[in-house]
Amino acid sequence: MTDLYSYRVLGSKDEELSKWDKFVDQCERGSFFHLSGWKKVIEQVFKHKSHFIYAEQDGVIVGVLPLVEQKSLLFGHTLVSTPFCVYGGVASDSDEVMLFLENKAIELAKQLAVDYLELRYSFARNNSAFTEKCAHSAFGCAIAADDETILAGVKKKQRANIRRSLENNLTYRVDDDTTTAYQVYSESVRNLGTPVFSARFFGALQHIFADKCDVLTVEHQGRAVSSVLSFYYKGQVLPYYGGGLDQARALKSNDFMYYQLMCSAKGSKQSNYFDFGRSKDDSGAYKYKRTWGMEPKPLHYMFYLVSATELPNLSPNNPKYQLLIRMWKKLPVSVSRLIGPFLSKYLG
Exposure on the CB side of residue 193, measured as CA atoms within 13 A: 10
Contact 277, 238 (CB under 8 A): yes
- pLDDT value of residue 320: 63
| Per-residue model confidence (pLDDT) at position 247 | 96
Domains of the chain: 2-134+299-312 (3.40.630.30), 139-295 (3.40.630.30)
pLDDT at 327: 85
H helix or E strand, kind and range, residue 19: helix 14-26
User: Interhelix angle for 156-165 vs 253-268, to 10°?
Assistant: 90
**pLDDT of the chain along its 348 residues, tens only?**
557 899 999 999 999 999 999 999 999 999 999 999 999 999 999 999 999 999 999 999 999 999 999 999 888 999 999 999 999 999 999 999 999 999 999 999 999 999 999 999 999 999 999 999 989 999 999 999 999 999 999 999 999 999 999 999 999 999 999 999 999 999 999 998 989 999 999 999 999 999 999 999 999 999 999 999 999 999 999 999 999 999 999 999 999 999 999 999 998 899 999 999 999 999 999 999 999 999 999 999 999 999 999 988 766 666 666 777 788 888 898 999 999 988 899 888
Q: Which helix (H) or strand (E) holds 293?
A: none
* Residue length of the chain: 348
What are the start-end ranges of the H helices in 166-299? 178-192, 199-209, 248-251, 253-268, 284-290
Q: How far is CA 267 from CA 16, 27, 40, in A?
A: 33, 26, 30
With H, G, I as helix, E, B as strand and everything else as coil, classify residue 81: strand
Tens digit of pLDDT for each residue in 259-282? 999 999 998 899 999 999 999 999
Q: What is the distance, to the nearest Å, from the Cα of residue 338 to the centroid of all Cα atoms in its chain?
A: 23
Residue 315 confidence (pLDDT): 63
Residue 290's pLDDT is 94
Query: If 0-12 CB within 10 Å is exposed, 13-18 middle and 19+ buried, where does residue 58 land?
Result: exposed
Give the type of residue at 138: A
Burial 24-48 (b: 16+ CB within 10 A, else e): beebebbbbbbbbbbbbbbeebbeb
Alpha-carbon span 324 to 103, nearest angstrom: 37
- 188 SS3 class: helix
The pLDDT of residue 328: 82
Determine the pLDDT at residue 3.
74
pTM score: 0.94
pLDDT of 74: 82
